[in-house]
Amino acid sequence: MRHVDWTGVQAVEGFDAPTPGAYIARIASVTDVEEKEYLKLEWDFAEGQYKGYNKDTFTRAGFWPTPLIRSYKDSALGFFKAFKTAVEASNPGYIFDDQNPHALAGKLMGLVLGEEGYIKTNGTPGRRLYVAQTRSLEAIQTGDFKVPEFRPAKSKPAAPASWAAPGGFPESDEDGDLPF
């Protein structure tokens, strides 16, 4: 490690991160994953204390936090239309063009963020934000939204006790036959 003059460095106890709530966002980029029929949108906070937070996270940590996935499979078209309507209402004169979804980049929208629990790869619990709803700017500004309650993590199902047998297979029946 290089030598650091610690006398001018201020200790940081934590950092100010976004919390569940409603925000005005700007779409930064759009990826159309046609084979799976969804758009992946990277977005950033467009105003307020977190303005530019997601881009800063990408610059610092190399990932874009809280991506927004909007499926356009037949079974999800109603949800996609709610997203499309929110973006159109938030950007006067803009009409969504399904032949040019990349034109969404730069558009404003309202987002309601919720918080959920998850199990980290090391098995410990964690918390993360997720996009619960897309809303118009007007809906966000007038308070026409509901922030969802915390969603606890779904625990991973435990392996059946019989898998713990030597060799990873269930013990055989008394007569020596395998149970399958």
Task: Assess if residue 37 is contained within a domain.
Answer: yes
What's the pLDDT score for residue 8? 83
What's the pLDDT score for residue 6? 87
Total domains, the chain: 1
Low-confidence ranges of the chain (pLDDT < 70): 12-15, 156-180
Task: Assess if residue 179 is contained within a domain.
Answer: no
Task: Assess if residue 9 is contained within a domain.
Answer: no
What's the pLDDT score for residue 113? 98
Task: Assess if residue 138 is contained within a domain.
Answer: yes
Task: Assess if residue 167 is contained within a domain.
Answer: no
Task: Assess if residue 131 is contained within a domain.
Answer: yes
Structural domain containing residue 48: 17-154
SS3 sequence, 148-164? CCCECCCCCCCCCHHHH
What's the pLDDT score for residue 96? 98
* pLDDT tens track for 24-63: 999 999 999 999 999 999 999 999 999 999 999 999 999 9
What's the pLDDT score for residue 14? 62
